[in-house]
């Protein structure tokens, strides 16, 4: 199953917290990868875009748990789980 690793999530959270994410604005630049994240019930929950597939998945995962993280540059330490439970589906496509 395609999903972000613990390391992918940790790196993305660190970028959020230090404000060094250089997030892609899809209106200004075409990202290399898009990720659509579906929950265990098959509902679309969030999406992410980035220059790597791993970061796009991690950003989508962060977006589900901390929706304001990217624009506020803030994530609580207990807000985003580091393990993705079974049933969640990450659909990654090239930009």
pLDDT digits (tens, 9 = 90+) for 34-62: 999 999 999 999 999 899 999 999 999 99
Q: Is the pTM of this model over 0.85?
A: yes
Q: Is residue 1 part of a domain?
A: no
The rounded distance, in Å, linking the Cα atoms of 92 and 95 is: 9
Q: Is residue 44 part of a domain?
A: yes
Q: Is residue 56 part of a domain?
A: yes
Q: How many domains does the chain have?
A: 1
Q: Is residue 48 part of a domain?
A: yes
Mean pLDDT of the chain: 89
Which domain does 28 fall in, by range? 6-94
Q: Is residue 13 part of a domain?
A: yes
The rounded distance, in Å, linking the Cα atoms of 40 and 35 is: 16
């Amino acid at each position: 199953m395609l999903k972000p690793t613990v390391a992918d999530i940790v790196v993305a959270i660190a970028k959020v917290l230090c404000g060094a994410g250089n997030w892609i604005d899809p209106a200004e630049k075409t990202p290399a990868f898009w990720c659509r994240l579906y929950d265990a019930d098959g509902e679309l929950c969030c999406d992410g875009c980035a220059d790597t597939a791993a970061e796009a998945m991690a950003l989508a995962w962060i977006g589900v748990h901390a929706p304001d993280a990217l624009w506020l540059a803030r994530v609580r330490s207990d807000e985003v789980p580091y393990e993705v439970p079974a049933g969640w589906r990450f659909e990654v496509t090239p930009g």
